[in-house]
Amino acid sequence: MEQPRTPRDAFAALLAGNRRFVDGSPEHPNQDLGRRQQTAVQGQHPFAAVFGCMDSRVAAEIVFDRGLGDLAVVRTAGHVVDGGVLGSLEFGVTVMGIPLVVVLGHDSCGAIRATLETHRTGIYPGGYVRDIVERVTPSLVTGRQHGDALEDTDPDALTEDHTRHTVQLIVERSAAIAERVASGQVGVVGVVYRLDEGRVRLVEALGDVGVDAPLPGAAASDLD
């Protein structure tokens, strides 16, 4: 099966796989012996780079019903961005020719809850967990409406804000990705996954991916 080559086709393929997963009828494509041997000999040609949270319940290949050689996956707690993440995503689009970058957030995120707890109590966690909280904090600050009390901040609403801001941050900080978005070669989307439903919902889209993201403050778009 030929891999999608455009941002539109790549996103459509991911959405189709997610629908199969939600419906309980996954096809588990590209997971057999033939595919394993093919990618070992002919190399890999993934059609999407997925940057998601390290949460064990949100495995991109399962959520999008894909297999070997389909997705290049980068994961950090709370999908926080650092130089290694940007370098990995740039490698994906510039060297591997990947046409779509996906930021995959999810509800009930521990990093989001830790950030809210830190700012409610004023007590930062120790070690490098503090670094995670500090990298999520800008999404908390910019996502809250003027006058909103911190205790009224909904964790899942913050997840949508953080996913949206992560998409924007990637394009702002990576000139290589921004140039390819502007030229139509690459699309960047942010989706939020619901643990109970298994469904992804669009919250941000840059480039021609065939679907418009909802306006900021509007409900996230269901992708049935």
Report pLDDT digits (tens) over 202-222.
Answer: 999 999 999 887 766 555 666
Tokens 């609403």, located at residue: 157
Model-level pTM?
0.92
Which of these ranges, 53-57, 64-68, 113-117, has the smallest mean pLDDT? 113-117
pLDDT(3) > 70: yes
144 closest CA partner among 173, 109, 119: 119
- DSSP annotation string for 147-190: T--GGG--HHHHHHHHHHHHHHHHHHH-HHHHHHHHTTS-EEEE
Per-residue pLDDT tens for 168-204? 999 999 999 999 999 999 999 999 999 999 999 999 9
Residue 113 in tokens: 């809850």
CA dihedral 132, 136, 138, 141 (to 10 degrees): -130
- As a whole number, mean pLDDT of residues 147-153 equals 60
Beta-bridge partner residues of 206? 188
Q: Is the pLDDT of residue 101 over 80?
A: yes
Distances (CA, A) of 71 to 24, 31, 36: 21, 12, 14
Which DSSP letter does residue 78 get? G
Q: What does the block give as tokens for 158?
A: 């913050």
Instruction: Show the tokens assigned to 26.
Output: 């996954």
Residue 2's pLDDT is: 79
- Quote the mean pLDDT of the chain: 92
Q: Where are the alpha helices (H) located in 7-59, listed in sequence order?
A: 7-23, 33-42
User: Given this model, what pLDDT does residue 144 score?
Assistant: 54
- Distances from the Cα of 40 to the Cαs of 4, 36, 74, 107, 207, in angstroms? 20, 6, 21, 36, 32
Residue whose C-alpha is closest to residue 11's, from 200, 175, 215: 200
